[in-house]
Amino acid sequence: MFKHSLLSVAVAATLCVMPVQAQDKISGGVVKIGVLTDLSGLYMANVGPGSVLASKLAIEDFGGKVAGKPIELVVADHLNKADVAAARAREWMDRDGVDVVTELGNSAVALAVMNIAAEKNRMTMTTGAGSSRITGVDCKPTNVMWVYDTYALAKVGTLPLVEQGAKKWYFITADYAFGHSLESDGSRFIKAGGGAVVGSSRYPFPGNDFSSYLLSAQGSGAEAVAFASAGGDLLNQIKQANEFGLGKKQKLVALLMSIADVHGVGLQAAQGMNFAETFYWDMDDETRKFSQRFFKEMGKMPTALQAGQYSAVLNYLRAVEKSGSDNVVDVMKTLREMPIRDAFARNANLRTDGKLIHDTYLVSVKSPAESKAPWDYYKIVKTVSGEDSFSPLSESQCPLVKK
């Protein structure tokens, strides 16, 4: 009788432990995704509410549950301030059990939150920031960089124009990590192509009146003026540059421009600009299907950053499902091993430094006469493979890369 009682207790204890152990693989019994984005500032059109919607679409496409557990989405505005972002990330991780923090555009925000996540063994998925430092000297084993970086943007945005004869360049640069990286990478490729940087101006972010910088660029003798900026700043720069007539004698080059920026500034001002893109809604049936769903909710087509956010969240959930765990080590290992393909990423792979390697596209903005329908803005001039777009691992400064 006594032995039978002990056996019953042991069986009961085993039955109690088994579901707890299974649940432990998904911390807290729920997968929590935090979207930390710009909901009120200069970058909100490129990320912001659209990146929140893209995350929701990814969760919806996955079925709302992963590994049998619910998926919870939390959202906050980082106000483009690294200290605000850091405080919210700590709160999410310490109090709310958030497993992964995503979006993180701008670069100062991303770098701050990456460090916190690494300390706390949580994951970050950078989709809206582009500084090369993120997968370079500041890379973390718990972070991925999903959409683009300043190396790829600068390489595609400058080198072809230098080869076509624009040898002298002037930079107007946002004075923070992202702008610095764009100028540094752009200068590298200009010089590699036989060109020269004849001057630059750095303005405090965010800016409003760019007249003094534009006049300096106009009087510099440069054949091309490169804007190492983004969002609302870029739109104001293009508008004011047109008012000053810079485009009549100098090439105006955006080192980061999106379909939302083209829409905001208008085809009349943006026509003929060439720049690197990582997504276009009208590429094929798969991009059109996703984009039409997005348009139905937002009333506009997705930017590359918003499409990249969809891809990042979708593949994070695939990796959690495949590994049966939301532990960052398990998820990162699975992401590197599994095939990555969706409306954004084509034949992509995740490298040791955390960078997703995928095709990029050289696009040219159509003229008003060439555009046949709303949002018909781009001509895809060239598809560039990920291997040719992004910096090679042999040049990496990431401590995770063994050479």
Alpha helices, H only, 169-245: 177-192, 211-218, 231-244
pLDDT score of 36 more than 90? yes
Report the pLDDT value the prediction gives residue 21, as an integer from 0 to 100.
Answer: 41
**Across-strand partners of 274?**
364
Q: Report residue 251 as tokens.
A: 């090439």
User: Are both 29-148+283-360 and 151-282+363-389 of the same fold?
Assistant: yes
CB within 8 Å of 101: residues ≥ 6 apart: 34, 36, 89, 92, 93, 113, 117, 122, 123, 124, 125
DSSP run (H or E) holding 168 = strand 168-174
pLDDT score of 382 more than 90? no
339-377 tens-digit pLDDT: 999 999 988 999 999 999 999 998 889 999 999 999 999
Amino acid at position 298, single letter: M
218-241 tens-digit pLDDT: 999 999 999 999 878 998 999 999
Listed by start position, the domains of the chain span 29-148+283-360, 151-282+363-389
Percent of the chain with pLDDT over 70: 94
101-143 tens-digit pLDDT: 999 988 899 999 999 999 999 999 999 998 889 999 999 999 9
Let me know: does 74 contact 91? Beta carbons within 8 Å. Answer: no
**CATH classification for the domain delimited by 151-282+363-389, as one of 3.30.450.20, 3.40.50.970, 3.40.50.2300, 3.10.450.40:** 3.40.50.2300
**Across-strand partners of 74?**
34
Let me know: does 173 contact 203? Beta carbons within 8 Å. Answer: yes
pTM, full prediction: 0.86
CB within 8 Å of 177: residues ≥ 6 apart: 106, 107, 108, 111, 131, 133
Report the pLDDT value the prediction gives residue 260, as an integer from 0 to 100.
Answer: 92
| Per-residue pLDDT band at 24 (split at 50, 70, 90) | low
* Rounded Cα–Cα distance for residues 346 and 359 (Å): 7
Amino acid at position 147, single letter: V
198-217 tens-digit pLDDT: 999 999 988 889 999 999 99
| Per-residue pLDDT band at 403 (split at 50, 70, 90) | low
Helices 107-119 and 177-192, packing angle to 10 deg: 110
Top-level class of domain 29-148+283-360: alpha beta
CB atoms within 10 A of CB 383: 13
